[in-house]
Amino acid sequence: MGRGFRERKVYFLDNEVYFFYLQVYLVYLEVYLLYLEIH
């Protein structure tokens, strides 16, 4: 997990647009799973 993980984290922070879309996707996935539980 050491150095490579830290570098990857920095890469994600630099690539803000990709990180933003990743967060949106995770939120959408959570909402979809909640929707499945209700129905």
Q: Are 34 and 27 in contact, with CB atoms under 8 Å apart?
A: no
Task: Report the b/e string of 18-29 with b at 16+ CB within 10 A.
Answer: eeeeeeeeeeee
Output the pLDDT for position 26. 95
pLDDT digits (tens, 9 = 90+) for 1-35: 556 666 666 665 667 788 888 999 999 999 999 99
pLDDT for res 33: 96
pLDDT of residue 3: 62
| 12 within 8 A of 19, measured Cβ to Cβ | yes
pLDDT at position 29 = 96
pTM, whole model, 2 decimals? 0.49
